[in-house]
Each structure stands twice: as C-alpha cells, then as structure tokens.
Amino acid sequence: MDGRVIVDRDRCIGSGMCLIYAPGTFTHDDEAKAVLLDHAADPPDDVRTAVEGCPTGALALVADDKGA
C-alpha cells in the first residue's frame, strides 16, 4: 500500500470496525483503542475499507513522502 495509516487515539471509541475489516492490521489495546499492528498485513483495499468505516474518523491514510 502506498502511504501509511495514522490512528488518532483521542477520536477512537473502540467500535472495532477496523478489526472487522483489517484484523491483521489493527488491534485494540487495554483501553479498547485502535493500535496499528502491521499496515501490510491485509490487502490495501481492506485497510482502506477499515479507514473509511471508522465511525469517528480516527483512522487516516497519509501519503508517503518518498518523492519529497
């Protein structure tokens, strides 16, 4: 996947949608907040779906600055 995933833990409510769509990429910690495990563990489309499915917008895809 081009880019990386950012988790805004202040916005995360622990709905678990990210775990449903991309279980190899996300987990929850002891506070039931999203934690990134490995952005390459699930297919890119699944990770995008997880990001888009977050009800609070706590997840974002950010482009890599490789060309900068």
In this structure, are strands 59-62 and 4-7 parallel, antiparallel, or unpaired?
Answer: antiparallel
Provide the 3-class DSSP secondary structure of residue 52. helix
Domain-located, residue 67: no
Q: How many domains does the chain have?
A: 1
Domain-located, residue 13: yes
Range of 27's domain?
A: 4-62
Residues 6+ apart with CB under 8 A from 30: none
Indicate which CATH number applies to the domain containing 11. Answer: 3.30.70.20
Domain-located, residue 38: yes
68 residues of the chain, pLDDT tens digit each: 678 899 999 999 999 999 999 999 999 999 999 999 998 899 999 999 999 999 999 999 998 766 55
Residues 6+ apart with CB under 8 A from 53: 17, 18, 20, 21
Terminal-to-terminal C-alpha distance of the chain? 18
Q: What number of residues does the chain have?
A: 68
Domain-located, residue 30: yes
